[in-house]
Structure 1
Amino acid sequence: MPALGRAGWRRLLPGWRHPARIVVTAFAVAILAGTLLLTLPAATADGHPADLVTALFTATSAVCVTGLVVVDTPDYWSAFGEVVILGLIQIGGLGIMTLASLLGLLIARRLGLRLQLTAQAETKALGLGEVRRVVSGVVTVSLLFEAVTAVVLTLRLALGHHYTWPDALYHGVFHAVSAFNNAGFALYSDSLVRFATDPWISLTVALAVIAGGLGFPVWLELWRHRRGRRHWSLHAKITLLVIGMLLVIGTVAIIAAEWTNPRTLGALDPGERLLAGFFTAVMTRTAGFNSVDIGQLEPGTLLVHDILMFIGGGSASTAGGIKVTTFALLAFVILAEVRGEPTVHVMGRRLPAAVQRQALTVALLSVGAVVAGTLALLTLTPHDLDETLFEAVSAFGTVGLSTGITADLPTAGRLVLVALMFVGRLGPITLASALALRDRTRRYELPEERPIVG
């Protein structure tokens, strides 16, 4: 049988080099490898191999930097298992930031459907030099924030909570990586409830989560144009503005709703309530840590969580959701339509119609995924709408917060969350890139007709 040449393989596997397929395949392979490692006897505390669904769920949650768990992380997994989870979190976080940044660069350069990772003569080509700069930049930013966070947490745990230095270092590094990558995995059965009143722990973790949720492109612009905002791109301006607004709105809404709730903030002193309320609002940015019992929140607060978790964080960041830029673009489109303006203008720039369609597509398909997941959980479990919707949004937004029903879900329900985590982590990125890279020229236009709207 004659060997297939490069052209033959391309015909046999059409589109195999499409960036979206590369991203999905890479993450699927990482999840499979993590699942196999977590099924080893050495990965569990009692030495018995974890069942396949538990290992798959945990590996997916780690690679997709979600933080949902069906077993108690510190009790069920051994030190080897925890290190595997930590490695999967790091791979998932770095992978998302790197691949999303490269896809963003590719889209900005309008290179077509195939990612060419070779130096090319055209000035608009994505060469190896740029790829290396993006990859090295993502790694440098990630390790820098993780290192600073780990140092602060280690010192606080050792000096303020009397941990031994080895334990303080291990816990500090684990939670620093988990925080910056917006993973939400914790080495405590109560997440970070025991540190709810400790500003050194709470604020450090919260700031690491915010830093990871901004995204590498924003940090790159902040560094390059650190002397002024005039040269910031529209993406950076929208990301910073909307994340800041949502943090303020979320904090105020959560504190107001839970101020007198004795099962959450009401049991704390006024200053501690403000700290815990801010921490809770930050965690809805897809981090997954909690310093209060999520299952005891008021129904209105759960709805606020649902909204914030669905929106998520910045593009090309470790955060999930539909992304703040998508949410903001839709808001600007609505505002322009209400005003009767023919085009959408934002901060001195006009939004292309293609970008508006992409934002609408990502948002509506994401709504469809959450609705489908919620219906599936309602059918498969005895839990009510508040709990199942919260769980579905948390999984899709790769948040990791839970009202406490995750461990009680049947196998089918856990697989639903696995699918939501995978789709939620990769769906918006791959869908947006696929839409942006699919630039086709229409050779003719049909007669125009306007149906009745509303």
Structure 2
Amino acid sequence: MMRARGVLGRFRHPTQVVTTGFGAAVLLGTVLLSTPLATASGKPAGWITALFTATSAVCVTGLTVVDTAAHWSAFGEVVIAVLIQVGGLGIMTLATVFTLLISRRLSLRARLSAQAETKALSASDLRRLVAKVVLFSLASEAVTAAVLTLRFVTGYAEPVGHAAYLGVFHAVSAFNNAGFALWPDNLIRFVGDPWICLTVAAAVIVGGLGFPVLFELRRSWRRPSRWSLLTRVTLAVTAVLLAGGTLIFLATEWSNPRTLGQLDGPGKLLAAFFTAVMPRTAGFNSLDLAHMYPSSWLVTDLLMFVGGGSAGTAGGIKITTVGLLAFIVWTEMRGESRVNIGHRRLPEAAQRQAVSLTVLGVGLVAFSTYILLVLTPHGLDRVLFEVVSAFGTAGLSTGITASIPPPGHLLLIALMFVGRIGPLTLGSALALKERTRRYELPEEGMIVG
């Protein structure tokens, strides 16, 4: 007991435990995927391949350097699915569940650690929150798996056992916004199947909204007037991004013979909607992204960078961040001194966090893009797409992931890890302690712009 306390004592901030937990999961996954049992050929996978795949799974990204179905054995695929589940629920959420089952008690440090992962507003409600997170996640995945399994059996004559395996794997991958698929073309073969595409899209949207929003909607979905700012901003920005992305992809790719051009009207609408949903950091694709126009790549870059909701399975800088930035800009344009959303005033701390997170994200993407441009012969549009996909834990690719040299793979691994943990969370985890300034300096104005 004293030794355990000594180890925990080395971490002075709960987010350090979160970061260490994700790192440990990646390390364990790398070891398991490096064994001969994990590959279809029976030969050990290279350590970079195993590390890249484990990081992509734990960080629920979906980028791959090998064909998932062809390279990994059934054991390897199960390891990937488990890593996705662990990454989606969060290391500290799982640790809290195990602690409750074993001791029925939670230490203050464990409460704070899990609170940092789940973004809970109060540590006193942590037990009930964690139970809801786990039960809701498993229930959503079970429903998704059931629908997919039924479709694989009735529509594609898959044996029940294999259909269930496919259904469970892709349900876990979809709800956790991972994007791993067990077909070489991802989901392109199902581009015209609304049962598959809409089911996967629904799981991605639900998983990407964020648990606080989902729980609030469950409690008071009939009373929008009682919704919190988090729920209102999340739903509003989500609707705008989904509708806007669908319309843009329809307009841009309508006559492209290698994407939407080969489909009929309803098929184009379905494929455009599915393509607009996936940059929420899911990583599935029903169209060949390598044949999309560069203008569509740019729109996808923006959607991947934004990502999904806070405290959900999606990555990116979060749609709430973008929503807050929009209100900040609107306030400045109107010349007001306080940022108000509806009948509530936005705290200055939230404004600073939104700006800081965006600036850090842009800086990381710009720096990483420059490094990959130096390391690879690929153009700016493809490299930027790959970098934003890794940072936003989206998992979409124009097909250059496998051709990137090992140093570039290591860079993408770091981006996926930082994108999952979050730049601010990672920064606070590395800090030895929080510093509070005990004095105020004289104020001096400065010209901006």
Give the TM-score, by structure 1 length. 0.90
Does the 8 Å contact 2:22/2:91 carry over to 1? no
CA contact (8 A) 1:39 1:52 kept: yes
Alignment check: 8 A CA contact 1:97 1:215 kept: no
Question: CA offsets, 1:308-347, max 9 Å, x none?
Answer: 0000000000000000011111111011001100100002
- Aligned with 1:148: secondary structure? helix
2:239 counterpart of 1:255: no
2: CA distance, partners of 1:377 / 1:252: 31
- The reply on whether 1:154 has 2:168 as its aligned counterpart is no
**Is contact 2:53–2:64 with CA below 8 Å preserved after alignment?**
yes
Aligned pair partner of 2:35 in 31, 40, 49: 40
Please state if 1:70 is matched with 2:51.
Answer: no
Superposed CA RMSD: 2.5
For 1:406, the equivalent position in structure 2 comes to: 401
Q: 1:117 to 1:401 in 2, by over 3 A?
A: closer
User: What is aligned with 1:134?
Assistant: 129
* Partner Cα distance (1:239, 1:372) in 2: 29
Provide closer, same or farther for how the CA distance between residues 8 and 293 of structure 1 changes in structure 2, counting only shifts above 3 A. closer
Partner secondary structure for residue 406 of structure 1: coil
Residues 7 and 186 of structure 1: CA distance in aligned 2, closer, same or farther (over 3 Å)? closer
In the alignment, the residues of structure 1 paired with residue 434 and residue 222 of structure 2 have an alpha-carbon distance, to the nearest angstrom, of 37
The DSSP-based 3-state class of the residue aligned with 1:451 is coil
How far residue 24 of structure 1 moved from its aligned partner, in angstroms, is 0.4
Matches within 5 A, 1:361-372: 361-372=356-367
1:6 and 1:87 map into 2 onto residues whose CA distance is 26
Give the 4+ runs in structure 1 shifted more than 6 A. 3-11, 432-435
Q: How does 1:218-237 map to 2 (within 5 A)?
A: 218-237=213-232
Q: Distance in 2 between matches of 1:7 and 1:61?
A: 31
Name the aligned partner's letter for residue 447 of structure 1.
P
Which residue type is aligned with residue 330 of structure 2?
L
Pairing 1:25–2:34 present: no
Which secondary structure state, in structure 2, belongs to the residue aligned with residue 313 of structure 1?
A: coil
Deviations 1:335-365 (A, max 9, x none): 1001100100002110111110111011100
Unaligned 5+ segments in structure 2 are 98-107, 114-120
SS at match of 1:230: helix
- Aligned pair partner of 2:340 in 345, 357, 363: 345
Does structure 1 retain, via aligned residues, the 8 Å contact 2:59–2:416? Answer: yes
Give the Cα separation in 1 of the matches to 2:247 and 2:428: 35
Identify if the C-alpha distance between structure 1 residues 339 and 434 changes in structure 2 by more than 3 Å, giving closer, same or farther.
farther
CA drift at 1:285: 0.5
**Helix, strand or coil for the counterpart of 2:280?**
coil
- Cα deviations across residues 225-249 of structure 1 (Å, max 9, x unaligned)? 1331122111011111111110000
Match of residue 49, structure 2, among 34, 51, 54: 54
Asked whether the equivalents of residues 150 and 172 of structure 1 are also in contact (C-alpha less than 8 Å), the reply is: yes
Shift of 1:267: 0.8
Indicate the residue corresponding to 1:334 in structure 2.
329
Rate the CA distance shift 1:231–1:375 in 2: closer, same or farther, 3 A. same
Closer, same or farther in 2 for the Cα pair 1:139/1:445, shift >3 Å? same
Structure 1's 347 and 433: CA in aligned 2 closer, same or farther, altered over 3 A? Answer: farther
Aligned partner of 1:272 in structure 2 is: 267
Q: Distance in 1 between matches of 2:229 and 2:93?
A: 21
The aligned amino acid for 2:15 is A
Matched, 1:305 2:292: no
Does residue 74 of structure 2 align to residue 79 of structure 1? yes
Contact 2:237 2:323 in 1 (8 A): yes
> Is residue 294 of structure 2 the alignment partner of residue 319 of structure 1?
no
Say if 1:432 and 1:326 are closer, same or farther in 2 by CA, change over 3 A: farther
Q: What does residue 106 of structure 1 align with?
A: none
Q: Percent identity?
A: 61
**1:375-414 matched pairs, under 5 angstroms:** 375-414=370-409
Q: Is the 8 A contact 2:153 2:160 kept in 1?
A: yes
| C-alpha distance in 1 between matches for 2:216 and 2:427 | 22
Cα distance between partner residues in 1 of 2:312 and 2:278: 15
Aligned 1:59-208 pairs, distance under 5 A: 59-95=54-90, 98=93, 116=111, 126-127=123-124, 130-208=125-203
Per-residue CA distance 1:66-112 (angstroms, 9 max, x = gap): 0000000010000010000011001110117949x99xxxxxxxxxx
Alignment correspondent of 2:421: 426
CA distance in 2, matches of 1:66, 1:31: 13
Deviation at 1:30, TM superposition (A): 0.2
Aligned counterparts of 2:270 and 2:410: Cα–Cα separation in 1: 35
SS of residue matched to 2:281: coil
Does the 8 Å CA contact 1:215/1:316 hold for their aligned counterparts?
A: yes
Residue from 204, 209, 213 that aligns with 2:204: 209
Matching residue's letter, 2:248 = A
Amino acid at match of 2:89: L
What amino acid maps onto 1:91 in structure 2? V
Query: 3-state SS of the aligned residue for 1:407?
Result: coil
Residue type of the alignment partner of 1:297: M
Q: Give CA-to-partner distance per residue, 1:250-279, whole Å, 9 cap, x none.
A: 110111100000010011111101000000
Amino acid at match of 1:126: A
Counterpart CA distance in 2 for 1:47 and 1:84 is 16
The 3 A distance-change label for structure 1 pair 434 and 78 is closer
The answer to which of 438-447 and 322-331 deviates more is 438-447
TM-score, scaled to structure 2: 0.91
- 2 CA distance for matches of 1:450 and 1:274? 51
Seen in structure 2, the aligned counterparts of structure 1 residues 429 and 89 have a Cα distance that, compared at 3 Å, is farther
Describe the shift of the 1:10–1:287 C-alpha distance in structure 2 as closer, same or farther (beyond 3 A): closer
Contact 2:14 2:112 survives alignment (8 Å) = no
| Shift in alpha-carbon separation, 1:176–1:382, aligned structure 2, 3 A | same
User: 2:147 and 2:92 mapped to 1: Cα distance?
Assistant: 24
> C-alpha displacement at 1:137, in angstroms?
0.7
Unpaired stretches in structure 1, ≥5 consecutive residues: 103-112, 119-123
